[in-house]
Amino acid sequence: MSFKKIQAFLFIVVLILLDQWTKFWARSFLAVEGPSTVINQVLEFRYAENTGVAFSMFDKYPFLLTVLITLINLVILVILLRKQKIEIFWIFIFAGAVSNLLDRYIFGFVTDFINPLFVNFAVFNVADVFLNIGLYIYLYFCFFVNSNKS
């Protein structure tokens, strides 16, 4: 395995640890003390358990979701292991997906705690932020970087 690939996997581990630390804090503090306002009428931290996916969709099928998400993560892992160079968007997507999957295996739900108050939105977590960062970088590559090569 190349040094660049080892660096990529180490970065993935750091991102997973960061997310898991924030979720540990949410379970330890917010689950006991209740919501904490960060910025009035803008942002609060509120403990939530999500057995579904985004916006709690499919929350009636946690086992099926866990199996499906495990398979998706395995496919991503195979892709990453086969690639010569791992693009940054894969790092963020894989780290977020694995960290949320760890929650599903350990607790039976994903720990969410970031609650934007200025908009009617789902409560989410740092791993979800990683997934979105990865998606946005991927879309940027698709629409702006790769489109300039033709």
Which residues belong to the active site?
112, 128
**What pLDDT is attached to residue 145?**
80
pLDDT of residue 27: 98
First to last CA, the chain: 32
Q: How confident is the model at residue 149 (pLDDT cuts 50, 70, 90)?
A: low
Tell me the pLDDT of the chain averaged across its residues: 92
Average pLDDT over residues 101-129: 95
- Beginning with the edge strand found earlier in the chain, give each strand of the sheet holding 36-39 in spatial order: 36-39, 43-50, 110-116
Nearest to 56, CA basis, from 131, 127, 130, 124 = 124
1 pLDDT tier (thresholds 50, 70, 90)? confident
What residues have CB less than 8 Å from 68, skipping those under 6 apart? none
Q: Give the pair of three-digit tokens for residue 145.
A: 């970087």
Q: What is the value of pTM for the model shown? A: 0.89
Residue 55 scores a pLDDT above 80: no
pLDDT band at 78 (very low <50, low <70, confident <90, very high): very high
Is the pLDDT confidence value at 35 over 70? yes
